[in-house]
Every structure is written in C-alpha cells, then in structure tokens.
Amino acid sequence: MIFDFDLGKLAPPGLVAQLDETAARSLLSSVADMARAHWIQLAQQKFHRTAADYIRAIQPVELGDNVASVTLMGSWPNKLETGFPPYDLRTTLLGPNVPVVGPGERGKHANKSGGFYRSISFRFSGPASTGRTAQRVTDTYAKQLGEERAKKLGRMAWKEMRRLDPTLSNPGEKTKWGERLKTAGTALEVRGRSHSLVDGKFTPHGGAEHKNPLFEGAVRMQQTYQRATQAFHGTFRTISTSTTEGWIHPGYEGARLAEEVARFIEQKGPDMVAFALEQASVQR
C-alpha cells in the first residue's frame, strides 16, 4: 500500500501557489513526516503482538515533485491493514512452503500415513503485562468463556505456572524438560472449543471440543545466555493433516489505519499550509 500526499488536495491551489518551490517542498515533507508519525502512533495503539511487524513495514517518506509518499511494505502488514477472511492454518503451517525436517528441527514432520504434523508453541504473559509479546493468560478464550471467568482462570494458571520446575533450553544444548502443569481434577480443567469453517461459513468456537484443557501441559521455559537468564511460560500443541478439526484462523477485518491517517491529514493539512504562508509572508 502506498499513501500519497499532494499539497494541492490539502488546501486551495491558489494558496499553495503562493509558496516558492523550497517552501512548498519543505511543507510537503513536514506533512508527510507528521502523517507517518501519526500512522505509527495509531499502530502502537491498535496492535499488540503484531505491532512490531506492522510498524517496521511503514517505510520512510519519499519526496517527489509536489507529491510525497509513505509505503506500507510486505504481504503480512498489508493483510493486517486491509483484512483477510478465515482460513485453515494447515495451509500455512503445514503448507508446501514449509520444509520437511527431522526430529528436533524447525519445520513440519512426515507421519506414517503420508501427511504432516508439527508442534506449535503458545506463549503466555502475565495478567499485568501489555500483551505485546505474548497473549495474556487472562485473555485466553475470553470471548468464549467470558471476560470474568477468563481472568479468574488466567490468574490461577499464572500462579501455578510460575511454581513449575523450569525446562532448560540453553543455546547449543539439548532441552532438559522440567515440570508440566497438570490440570486434571482442578478448576483449570477447562476445555475450549475450536473454530469451525465449513463450506466457507465461519463459526467462532463452533467446532469440536479441544482434546486438552486450555493450560494443560504448560511449562516454564528458562534460557541462559552469556549475560542474562530469560524465562517464559507457554504450552505446546500439535497441528496435523490427519484431522480437519480445529486450527481455523478467525480472519481479520483489517485495521484500516491509512484511512484514519487520511482523515487526520485532511484536518491538519490546511492549518499547516496557512502557517507556512504566514511564515513566508514574515520572511519577505
């Protein structure tokens, strides 16, 4: 997506014509820089875990003859901007572009029936976190279980996960698995339901019940580097072509931030042109 800025559309052409070439170019640059900064600010407010991907895609301002542009680069950021329909995650996580690998390697694994499978990690962050690096435990299935219940379960799960003996996964070393969260017979033995996508019709949480409770098998991963030790919590789930149940992405309606930027510039642009004209008049 390319967002263009034309001074002639921000104010009556007669006003813009009063600026010399240098002043007009400077004004154009200022308007575009302001628009880009506002775009980034909107992205920080709108997104959480995908914010970094989207913001990195907002390219620096490019100045041309009487026109400036800011480009949103990349397929994924543009999908976040314009939206995309629900789809089966097997098409991407187990698709033809994913390499077939051996045990312990990153990619998909072949099964005996000729299909594929792989393990996917789901990281959790604490109830008080921003939710930008991982899903808050209190947000897990909030839409299905209700916010109040999801928050209660999330806080309980977080308390239990932090007590687990750590799984050690240090660079260059074999993973040493520690304790896994067991939920049987506890208040955390709660299963969600998968989304359903049948003949193009999407039903939120309308599919089969999950095989495992939401937080079953969670681990406390700990990694030690040269200067620091980092820890995170999460679960692992297996996606496979052996079943068509579950693993449906709900799709996304699109952030449409460029439209908000356009409205922002329509409001601020004329004032900037008027200010530039005032400054030019003072300097004469």
pLDDT digits (tens, 9 = 90+) for 194-241: 999 999 899 999 999 999 999 999 999 988 877 777 888 999 999 999
Q: What DSSP letter does each residue of 27-76 carry, written as one string?
A: HHHHHHHHHHHHHHHHHHHH-STTHHHHHHTBPPPEE-SSEEEEEB-SHH
Please count the other Cβ atoms lying within 10 Å of the Cβ belonging to residue 24: 18
- Ordered alpha helix ranges (H), the chain: 13-16, 21-46, 51-56, 75-82, 90-93, 142-145, 147-161, 257-283
Query: ∠59-85-127 over CA atoms, to 5°?
Result: 75
For position 11, what pLDDT does the model report? 63
Terminal alpha carbon distance of the chain? 40
Specify which residues 176 forms β-bridges with.
168
Report, in this order, helix, strand and coil percent for the chain, each rounded to 5.
Answer: 35, 25, 40
Which residue, 111, 110, 140, 119, is CA-closest to 236? 119
pTM of the prediction? 0.82
For position 14, what pLDDT does the model report? 64
For position 16, what pLDDT does the model report? 63
pLDDT per position in the chain (284 positions), as tens? Answer: 887 877 777 766 666 666 677 877 888 888 889 999 999 999 999 999 899 999 999 999 998 877 889 999 999 999 999 999 999 999 999 999 999 998 878 899 999 989 999 999 999 999 999 888 889 999 988 989 999 999 999 999 999 999 999 999 877 788 899 999 999 999 999 999 999 999 989 999 999 999 999 999 999 998 887 777 788 899 999 999 999 999 999 999 999 999 999 999 888 877 777 766 666 554 54
Rounded Cα distance, 222 and 232, in Å: 7
For position 229, what pLDDT does the model report? 78
Q: Domain residue spans in the chain?
A: 2-82+253-283, 87-249
CB 155 within 8 A of CB 127: yes
For position 17, what pLDDT does the model report? 67
For position 282, what pLDDT does the model report? 45
